[in-house]
A and B are shown apart, each in its own frame.
Chain A
Amino acid sequence: MSVNSPLLPIERFLQTLRLVFREGNHLLYSYGRLYSQPVDAVWVQGLDVNPELAERLEAFISRFGRMQDTIADKLLPRWLLALAERPGSQIETLNRAERLGVVNNVENWLEARKLHNRLVHEYMEDAEAFAEDLVLAREYSIMLLDTFNRLHNFVAKRMEIEEATLPGLIALPEQD
């Protein structure tokens, strides 16, 4: 087999699964750094004089969006291809993933997508609303990480793949 031969769908999927595992752990790290303090409107207003904190927030928002995009645009379609299914539009793919128990709720997933869009495009326009969005981003982050774990469980139980080739599960943070 030449080095240029295309990856089999299953190999491509596993490669993406490992990538999302890394993205998830990076999100988890930024999550821990961001939510180690109460996030409210006063905290948001303080970002102007605390560039280090603003950078921490930026990392979180970016990792939140990246993990979400990779799961929806790459991981789930490649997973369906590995199952010999034909992925459709993003909503069709999410619906299929919901039916297979990997995405918990398509509507919540689309809410998280819109939330990321809002965090980027309405960055700090209104401190109160931005703080509320950051509180929401906390629970939607857990949803993203949990989606990875659900998919991992599906792969381990339903697809004949050696456990050793799979990345681990992501340790979900405890929510207070």
Chain B
Amino acid sequence: MRLSSKAQQIIRDSTHEIFGSDATAIVFGSRVDDMASGGDIDLLVQSDKAIAQRQRKALQLVARLQIRLGDQPIDVLVLDPETTCQSVHEEALRTGVPL
């Protein structure tokens, strides 16, 4: 995992602020590959409860993290019971690291 423990804490806290305490942030993609360098921060926010305004909240999380972690490319996917699970979600669940 190439994110400092402080950055991980910020991601966890920001996810809970926006999506509620039931939501889990999962880091996937190049940031969980210790051999890679740099790269976007790819997050999957997973919740067993339906999340209203998924698209808006994903934007809010990206913006807040860009302020708190520094301006850098961040992508957020949301997976709740109402989202159709696509291959990208499955891949994130399979390879990602929950914070």
Interface of A toward B, CB cutoff 8 Å: 89-91, 106-111, 113-115, 118, 126, 129, 132-133, 136
**B63 A110 Cβ-Cβ under 8 A:** yes
Q: How many residues of B contact A (CB 8 A)?
A: 12
Q: Which A residues touch B27, using CB under 8 A?
A: none
Bound-complex Cα distance A129 to B58 (A): 11
Q: A interface, by DSSP: helix, strand, loop or mixed? A: helix
- Distance from B35 Cβ to chain A, minimum over Cβ atoms (Å): 26
Q: Which B residues touch A106, using CB under 8 A?
A: 67
**A107 B60 Cβ-Cβ under 8 A:** yes
**B71 A91 Cβ-Cβ under 8 A:** yes
Q: B interface, by DSSP: helix, strand, loop or mixed? A: helix
Q: Which A residues touch B67, using CB under 8 A?
A: 91, 106-107, 110
Interface of B toward A, CB cutoff 8 Å: 54-56, 59-60, 62-64, 66-67, 71, 84
**B71 A136 Cβ-Cβ under 8 A:** no
Q: Which B residues touch A111, using CB under 8 A?
A: 56, 59-60, 62-63
Bound-complex Cα distance A89 to B67 (A): 12
**A136 B56 Cβ-Cβ under 8 A:** yes
Contact A136 to B62, CB < 8 A, known contacts A90-B71, A91-B67, A106-B67: no
